[in-house]
Structures are given as C-alpha cells and as structure tokens.
Amino acid sequence: NGSMTPFVGTHQGRLDGKGRISIPSQFRALLKAGSTDPSAPSTPLMMNPSNGEACIEVRSETAFNDFTAGIYELDHLSERRNDLELTYFALSVHLKIDDEGRVVIPPKLREEVGLTEKSDIAFVGRGNYFQIWDASHADTRVDLARRRTKERGDTLPGRTR
C-alpha cells in the first residue's frame, strides 16, 4: 500500500529472560495509526522467520496476507506450494503487544535466527514491514546492501504523481 507511512530506521533493543522485547515506540505508533479509537489494540501482527535472511520479519496481518497471497495461485498439490505453505505458515505466529509495548518471540523463532538473551537486537525498517536481527548481523547486511547498490549504480525508478 503506497499510502501507508513506512517502517524506517534501525532501532536497538534487548530480549529479556522470558523472550520478550519492546517494539520501538516509532514502530508501535505506526501500528496503532490505523485505528481511530485510541483505546483500541494495535493492528494484528504476524511474525515469521525470513526465508532469505537470518532474521525475523514482522508485518501487519493485512500485509502478511498480501505477502503470502501468491501461494494460493499455485497448484494445490504441487511441491512448490506445499513447501511455501510450510515455509511461511508453519513457523509464523500471531503477535500480541502487551501494555508495555513488548512482544514475546517464541523460542523456536529465536533459535531459528540465533537470538539469545545476550544478543543486541536491531529492529530494521523495511517499508511495509520490519525485521528483527542480531544487531551485528543487521549491520553487516545493511553494509552489504549499500555496497552492492553503489556498485550496480542502482537508483529508484521515477514516479509520476
């Protein structure tokens, strides 16, 4: 959705002993922005391990459904569809943000991407979603992306309004 305010920036955090982490206030504000009722809960969220990176991805339920919609266009019995369903649905979880702005990252997801209580955590904005990384891996990945973008001479395509 081109009209939504994007998740931007890199924000730091730490896991507590129960696997909880506080969502950055800037991201929480964006998640609540869709509600006209200030006492309403935040937008329903989905969390899944990234299929291509050593991180966890967090999207609104609507963005997650849009992201995974193409799976349903594949042949129901195909190996590709089955693999994609298991990749994106089996380890995905619905998130609830508590009154202190925290979410619990389930042990299986923490293990999948190597997050521990000792990890410095980075929340990395990616437009319509954000990622949760071990901070040292996030820095390395952002550096790689910037270097490759410069080497290729990538620019953003122009848009007419």
Task: Write down the pLDDT at residue 43.
Answer: 73
How buried is 110 (Cβ within 10 angstroms: 0-12 exposed, 13-18 middle, 19+ buried)? buried
Share of the chain above pLDDT 90, in %: 66
State the average pLDDT over residues 124-129: 93
Q: Is the pLDDT of residue 35 over 50?
A: no
Q: Is the pLDDT of residue 161 over 80?
A: no
Query: Rounded to two decimals, what is the model's pTM?
Result: 0.86
What digits encode the pLDDT tens for the residues 97-122? Answer: 888 999 999 999 999 899 988 889 99
Task: Write down the pLDDT at residue 29.
Answer: 85
- Amino acid identity of 73? E
DSSP track, the chain: -TTSPPB-SEEEEE--TTSEEEPPHHHHHHHHTT-S-TTSPPPPEEEEE-SSSSSEEEEEHHHHHHHHGGGGGS-TT-HHHHHHHIIIIIS-EEE---TTSEEE--HHHHHHHT--TT-EEEEEE-BSSEEEEEHHHHHHHHHHHHHHHHHHT--PPP---
What digits encode the pLDDT tens for the residues 136-149? Answer: 999 999 999 999 99
Which residues does 32 contact at the CB level (< 8 Å), separation at least 6?
40, 42, 43
Task: Write down the pLDDT at residue 160.
Answer: 61
Task: Write down the pLDDT at residue 120.
Answer: 92
- Split at pLDDT 50, 70, 90, the class of 73 is very high
